[in-house]
Chain A
Amino acid sequence: MGIHFVPLIKPTKLRVLFGSLGVLAFLAGCAGMQFSDMFSGYAQQMQPVRAQIDQGQVQQAQSLLVQRGKTENSYALSQLERGRLAYLASDWSASQQAFEEVYNYVKTTNEQAKIRVSESLNQASALLSNDNALPYIIPAYEQSMMHSYQAINYLMQGNREGALVEVRRANIVQENALKQNQQKIDQARNDTLQKADVSESSLYSSFPDMESTLADVKSGFQNAYTFYLSGVLYEGSNELNDAYIDYKRALQIYPDNPVIINDVQRLAKRLQMQDDIERFDNRYGTYRPKSENAQGMGDVVVMIELGQIIPRQDASINIPTSHHGSLRFYSLSLPSYNNASRFAAPAKVQLSLGERSLLAEPILELLPLAKFQLYDQMPGMVARQVLRIFAKEEIRQEAARSGGDVGNVLASLYNMASERADTRSWLTLPQQIQVLRQPVNAGPQSIRIDYNGQQQLIDVEVKESRITLIKLTVTGNYIGYVSSNL
């Protein structure tokens, strides 16, 4: 080194300082973080990828996705994003592989020992940097979405049995989510009963009211779209009883969706579920088939994915405090969903079949699911944040002792810069899914989709008494679709 300078602090102290910074870097490394994760949030890193998707440049989006190794704690999350992008690029086998990795990860995590020593190491490094040092836990709604995409992956590769396996996996995830949140449902039921001042016995008379309350609670952790897709796939395999159960589950979450109502009533009649027919007739009116004559007709089911899910915001604040005349900063950061930046409600999609125009109905909003997940994580996040302020203050004091002013400034800068909210979530998911179902004449059909002035013509071959499934993705300037005869 050709430059000479007079050190502000003694070399030994400098060594200690760099040593501790080294330890920090090591901790980050051992926790499986990339260096950039310490100083920039996940939502921020994903921004370019999302922008490319909106432009319809799926390949570019794929190349912009940050590569993560198996030991990194966001590995499973990166595989979710990879799987979804491959799905958008119609690369079914690559998408299937990525999602299979995620499934194996979830399975291993579920089977892990109740107490893990390495987990406390992660907690320790989360205290010294931020919550991104913790392994990403895949919430139930992301798992059920993943299995739904996986089902389509199998379907598009001609493996219907595989698709049904995925549907069953999705149902297991959703049943477990229900089990875990049973308490919340019970509470909502009791609250409604108390509010309405009715006894459990007269529950039936206040049925519609109760139903929508419970549906609101359920839509926080269960997803009607996955149930509906599962019902359609079961119906396509002529397993009507299974289909009926899943349509009914979807209806519990979206009690006013006319598409699901019609399917439930149709199958109730077909399977001669007398009690159910009566109950649904009371609630929704007598069943009217969508077409009088079923002969020579096939059902077209269109599922439309709209927009992109809103990312978590990093709400960080630095509070300056003066202590014994020296200035200090306490940094706080917690993720939130900012209502102000909310998308305008997605416009409806119009389908033209011949001269008729039909409207699709929403079957899934992903934001409430994501919000519910954040709400669930919040107590832990706040507790860690409090501990982190103390831990980082400890570091700063230590650095100030050993490194004087330079140490103090460096540590303060580190503390502020490393304070990042955990904005990790699956960000290539859509914002909303809408559904439409209509019996049409068998044979080649041209279906025109209108969305916000964008148009797409879809040519399909409808087969008699079979379901033609069309999956459409609309976001930004991008429209893509796939179709399959079930």
Chain B
Amino acid sequence: MKKLTLSMISIGLLLTLGACSNKATVSYGDAQEVETTDLSFGSTDLQKIATEMTDSLIASAAVDELVKDGRPVMYVERIKNKTSEHIDTESITDSISTKLLRSGKFRFVDMSRVQDVTKQLEFQNDGGLVDPSKAVQFGKQTGAEYMLYGNLSSIVKSNKDKSDVYYKFTMRLMDLESGIVEWADETEIRKTKEKQGWSW
């Protein structure tokens, strides 16, 4: 009896110590690798959305028409987050505009930096430090002809056996002058997680 208790205690101690000596490790991985840590919005979802949307936009016949006479100027309006997660939609916007710029078919104006630009131009023109002949003039910027906008929504469901999340990303391209929507597309993502049977 006594021996049994003793051995039980030592097993318990070993288990506790085992947990303590378990070291964390850091390693580099492939940024494009499929990531399935948990159900929430992750890098793979972001990459999938950005790639599919830009591919669809560049390949569409309507856009071929638009880029016929040079590279149209666009700007990306914020992507509206209508999900139940705090997602940095600016990062989706950034990925999409970068990919579009890389395609060489479009030019962009960056609306998120308007304030900084204004400040810089004010400094150059009114600060008195910059040679007026070399200062960048006000009123010379190009206005955007097209607006790219969209929203991301989700449906989340779960029961005691599994959880399921569905994302839908919709994007549209609007001609600012006529108000006509020249292109629209959507992409969907579904992820399901089944619960483990048992664990520690």
The interface of chain A, by Cβ under 8 A from chain B, is 110-118, 161-162, 164-165, 168-169, 172, 176
B40 nearest CB neighbor, chain A only: A107
A66 to B163, CA, bound (A): 35
A125 to B86, CA, bound (A): 38
A172 to B158, CA, bound (A): 10
Are B84's CB and A114's CB within 8 A? no
Say yes or no: A117-B199 contact (C-beta < 8 A), given A111-B193, A162-B86, A172-B156. yes
Instruction: Report B72-92 residues with CB < 8 Å from chain A CB.
Output: 80-86
Say yes or no: A113-B86 contact (C-beta < 8 A), given A118-B200, A165-B81, A172-B156. no
Residues of A within 8 A of B81 (CB): 161, 165
Are A116's CB and B84's CB within 8 A? no
Are A116's CB and B198's CB within 8 A? yes
Checking A113, A162, A176 against B195 with a beta-carbon cut-off of 8 angstroms, the contacting residue is: A113
B85 nearest CB neighbor, chain A only: A165
* Nearest Cβ on chain A to B12's Cβ, whole angstroms: 9
Say yes or no: A116-B200 contact (C-beta < 8 A), given A110-B158, A165-B85. yes
B33 at interface by CB-CB < 8 Å:
no
Number of B residues, CB within 8 Å of A: 21
A111 to B191, CA, bound (A): 14
Residues of A within 8 A of B38 (CB): 111
- Count the A-B residue pairs with Cβ separation under 8 angstroms: how many? 47
Are B193's CB and A115's CB within 8 A? no
**Further pairs besides A114-B196, A116-B198, A176-B158: 10, Cβ < 8 Å:** A111-B163, A111-B193, A113-B195, A113-B199, A114-B161, A114-B197, A117-B200, A161-B81, A164-B82, A168-B84
Are B80's CB and A161's CB within 8 A? yes
B interface, over-half SS? loop
* Nearest Cβ on chain B to A343's Cβ, whole angstroms: 35
Say yes or no: A168-B198 contact (C-beta < 8 A), given A111-B38, A111-B193, A114-B160. no
* Nearest Cβ on chain A to B115's Cβ, whole angstroms: 15
Instruction: Report B140-168 residues with CB < 8 Å from chain A CB.
Output: 156, 158, 160-161, 163
A172 to B80, CA, bound (A): 20
A115 to B198, CA, bound (A): 4
Say yes or no: A115-B163 contact (C-beta < 8 A), given A162-B86, A165-B81. no
The interface of chain B, by Cβ under 8 A from chain A, is 38-39, 80-86, 156, 158, 160-161, 163, 193, 195-200
* Nearest Cβ on chain B to A150's Cβ, whole angstroms: 10
A347 to B196, CA, bound (A): 51
Residues of B within 8 A of A164 (CB): 82
Are B199's CB and A116's CB within 8 A? yes
A237 nearest CB neighbor, chain B only: B80
* Nearest Cβ on chain A to B1's Cβ, whole angstroms: 11
Residues of A within 8 A of B158 (CB): 110, 176
Residues of A within 8 A of B83 (CB): 165, 168
A165 to B156, CA, bound (A): 13
Are A114's CB and B86's CB within 8 A? no
B39 nearest CB neighbor, chain A only: A111
Are A113's CB and B84's CB within 8 A? no
B5 nearest CB neighbor, chain A only: A19
A168 to B152, CA, bound (A): 14
